[in-house]
């Protein structure tokens, strides 16, 4: 890949990568870090990555970075689980989008990623399978389970309004 092609990739994919990362982590700074790290890794391998496959490479890199972060958080949660639990207060949902975002944040990493790619970014099942290195059937199952969880989490629309 040439420097011009690399620059074209930045122009073409930076916003889409950012939206994808932001939807999965809901933290603008962390999403920017993921995108920057993905492009940094691409730059380090600019000679070996095929220009035709750069989109998959970038999205896969962001997915891997998110998985690594989730693993680190899981280890931290295990450490914190020994502490006494604070009293939880029931949350009141006044905003539908806020409720959806809270529900999405409770999904597993892979469910959140495939749901984001499908419902928010508009990718086909095959494209998602290529990006996540899953089979199309696995992608469909993860999306079904994520949607089912969200339906249960949100409940009836009358409760929200």
| CATH T-level topology, domain 89-161 | Arc Repressor Mutant, subunit A (1.10.10)
Model confidence, pTM: 0.53
Query: By CB neighbour count within 10 A (0-12 exposed, 13-18 middle, 19+ buried), where does 160 fall?
Result: middle
- Lowest mean per-residue pLDDT among 5-9, 13-17, 83-87: 83-87
Average the pLDDT over each of 59-63, 80-84, 118-122, 145-149 and give the range with the smallest value: 80-84
Q: For the segment 35-93, what is each residue's pLDDT rounded down to a tens digit?
A: 988 888 888 888 888 888 888 888 888 888 888 888 887 777 765 665 665 545 455 54
Per-residue pLDDT, 144: 92
The whole-angstrom separation of Cα 4 and Cα 24 is 30
106, two tokens: 């409770």
What pLDDT, on a 0 to 100 scale, did the predictor assign at position 89? 46
What is the model's pLDDT at position 137?
Answer: 93
What is the Cα–Cα distance from 36 to 2, expressed in whole angstroms?
19
Residue 29, classed as helix, strand or coil, is helix
Token readout for 119 is 């419902």
> Longest Cα pair distance anywhere in the chain, in angstroms?
56
- Mean pLDDT score, 143-160: 77
Say what the pLDDT of residue 87 is: 47
Instruction: Give the mean pLDDT of the chain.
Output: 81
| Burial classification of residue 89, based on how many CB atoms lie within 10 Å of its CB (0-12 exposed, 13-18 middle, 19 or more buried) | exposed
Q: What does the pLDDT read at residue 93? A: 46
> What confidence score (pLDDT) does residue 134 get?
87
């Amino acid at each position: 890949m040439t420097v011009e092609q690399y620059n074209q990739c930045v122009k073409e994919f930076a916003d889409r990568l950012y939206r994808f990362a932001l939807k999965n982590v809901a933290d603008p700074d962390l999403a920017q870090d993921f995108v920057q790290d993905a492009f940094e890794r691409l730059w380090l391998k600019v000679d070996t990555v095929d220009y035709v496959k750069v989109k998959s490479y970038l999205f896969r890199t962001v997915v891997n970075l998110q998985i690594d972060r989730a693993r680190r958080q899981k280890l931290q949660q295990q450490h914190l689980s020994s502490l006494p639990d604070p009293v939880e207060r029931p949350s009141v949902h006044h905003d539908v989008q806020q409720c959806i975002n809270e529900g999405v944040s409770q999904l597993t990493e892979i469910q959140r990623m495939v749901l984001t790619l499908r419902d928010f970014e508009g990718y086909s099942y095959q494209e998602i399978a290529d990006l996540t290195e899953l089979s199309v059937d696995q992608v469909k199952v993860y999306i079904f389970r994520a949607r089912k969880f969200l339906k249960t989490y949100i409940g009836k629309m009358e409760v929200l309004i």
